[in-house]
Amino acid sequence: MPNPLRPYNARFRRLLGRPEPDFMAGAVESWTEAPSDIRRVRPALHLPGQLERVRASVFANLAETVSALTRDGEMREGATTGWRFRNVDLIDGVLYGDGAELHLRNRQRRYGLALRPQQAVSGALYETWTTNRWFGSWLMEGPAAWLLASRRHMAMTTAAQPKPGSHAARYEQIMGIAPQRIAGDVHFDELILFGDMSNNADKRRRQQQMREKLLAGRDPKPVPGVFLLRGTAGDLRLLRNERELAERLAAERGFLVIDPLAATADELIEACSAARAIVGVEGSQLVHGIIAAPQNAAILPIQPPDRVAATLKGLTDRLDQRFGLLVAEGNDTVFTLNWRDLAATLDLFD
């Protein structure tokens, strides 16, 4: 039965300083959805001195990030796990079980009353806090996770219907993503969740399957590369000389320069799906290029020294692409990149 006191119980627990219970420990059943396996991993290509520029990382600690970028050889990829729960409440973007909580998105009613869910459902959620927070995270993880939930014939999401004409709406249309959408607070009689972070063979197949859907019926023209502009969109990561670098790549190396905010999803897919290189500031806009780019394409994010991430490398590993580490000079929000570093790093892929 729905229990509107669960959010208050969780808040009191935090006020009392009690440890956070493990939400997954409340599952009534768990299973291996896809097994672990061994695969060959290639390190990020980089110039001498690039690793020394890295001062801080995001999404993992510095040692873990550097390891993810530089590991070379056969590595074990973890299994994909499924969990089944009963009697779970979804209230204001947070899942509440018996004494535990799992956040799917930021709460909107932080100081408001928790209402008793009026609707009871059963389903498989394929989202996480990060896929709801960042468009790029959704684009790189959501479609492959959707295929997992679809196997259960009960795929659900708390995400609203994308706006008509938006990138998200078109990607969902092309890839056939059509979940049942949850609006407001609900009670789950039965809930299935997945742990799908590892690049095992099953996840790699699902990622490739989605790329095949993106490219179906297209005949893209090969290009040396695509520079995807970031500008000041999204969380601030301002490459001061972004336009200068992009224009020089266009003039000297034949790159296409595209502002993703001014292009449709179809235009981005057509431009990037036969590109030999995808370049741009690390961020969501690069995922447009990575998910469409071919095998062995060079993926070169320009990273600020105080915010280096290995997240995109996981996606390029799934798609058998080559990844480069290129660290700018500055801080986590405003930085500059020397043209010589960019050109020389691209030359490493030849």
Q: Do the domain assignments include residue 56?
A: no
Supply the pTM of this predicted model: 0.93
Question: Quick one: 272 and 160 in the same domain?
Answer: no
Alpha-helical segments (H) within 216-330: 242-253, 265-272, 284-292, 311-318
Question: Quick one: 324 and 226 in the same domain?
Answer: yes
Question: Quick one: 148 and 199 in the same domain?
Answer: yes
pLDDT at 240 over 90: yes
By residue range, what is the domain housing residue 310?
Answer: 62-73+221-347
CA separation, residue 330 to residues 96, 247, 269, 279, 337 (Å): 42, 21, 32, 19, 9
Question: Quick one: 209 and 139 in the same domain?
Answer: yes
Neighbouring residues of 99: CB distance < 8 A, sequence distance ≥ 6: 9, 13, 21, 26
Question: Quick one: 89 and 25 in the same domain?
Answer: yes
pLDDT at 180 over 70: yes
pLDDT of residue 344: 98
- Residue 20 banded pLDDT, cuts 50, 70, 90: confident
pLDDT at 2 over 70: no
pLDDT of residue 270: 97
Question: Quick one: 84 and 204 in the same domain?
Answer: yes
Neighbouring residues of 17: CB distance < 8 A, sequence distance ≥ 6: none
- Residue 117 banded pLDDT, cuts 50, 70, 90: confident
Q: Do the domain assignments include residue 234?
A: yes
Query: Which among 190, 214, 238 is the end of a domain?
Result: 214
CA diameter of the chain: 66
Question: Quick one: 145 and 261 in the same domain?
Answer: no
Query: Which among 176, 196, 214 is the end of a domain?
Result: 214
Q: Do the domain assignments include residue 51?
A: no
Provide the mean pLDDT of the chain: 93
- What tokens appear for 103 in the block? 């956040």
Please measure the distance between the N-terminal and C-terminal CA atoms of the chain and give it in whole angstroms: 61
pLDDT digits 0-9 by tens, 184-224: 899 999 999 999 999 999 999 999 999 999 999 999 999 99
pLDDT at 234 over 90: no
Q: Do the domain assignments include residue 208?
A: yes
pLDDT at 293 over 90: yes
Tell me the average pLDDT across 294-307. Answer: 97
Residue 61's φ and ψ, nearest 5 degrees, are -70, 170
* Structural domains of the chain, count: 2
Neighbours of 264 (CB within 10 A): 13
Q: Do the domain assignments include residue 43?
A: no
- What tokens appear for 199 in the block? 């690049």
- Residue 11 banded pLDDT, cuts 50, 70, 90: low
CA–CA separation, 29 and 5 (whole Å): 25
pLDDT of residue 14: 64
**Percent of the chain whose predicted confidence (pLDDT) is above 90:** 86
Q: Domain containing 325 — which CATH number?
A: 3.40.50
Beta bridge partners of 34: 80
Question: Quick one: 279 and 303 in the same domain?
Answer: yes
H or E stretch at 85: strand 80-91
Neighbouring residues of 57: CB distance < 8 A, sequence distance ≥ 6: 64, 65, 66, 307, 308, 309, 310
**Higher-pLDDT residue of 98, 60:** 60
- Residue 278 banded pLDDT, cuts 50, 70, 90: very high
- What tokens appear for 236 in the block? 């601030």
- What tokens appear for 4 in the block? 């509107």
The DSSP result for 278-334, as a single string, is EEEESSHHHHHHHHHSPTT-EEEEEE-TTSB--HHHHHHHHTT-EEB-EE-EE-SSE
Question: Quick one: 200 and 177 in the same domain?
Answer: yes
Signed CA dihedral, 180, 185, 189, 192: sign only: positive
Q: Do the domain assignments include residue 277?
A: yes
Tell me the average pLDDT across 47-71. Answer: 96
Query: Which among 214, 241, 273 is the end of a domain?
Result: 214
Question: Quick one: 126 and 258 in the same domain?
Answer: no
pLDDT digits 0-9 by tens, 320-340: 999 999 999 999 999 999 999
Q: Do the domain assignments include residue 155?
A: yes
Question: Quick one: 237 and 317 in the same domain?
Answer: yes
pLDDT digits 0-9 by tens, 137-158: 999 999 999 999 999 889 999 9
- 40 near 80, Cβ under 8 Å? no
pLDDT at 62 over 70: yes
pLDDT at 343 over 90: yes
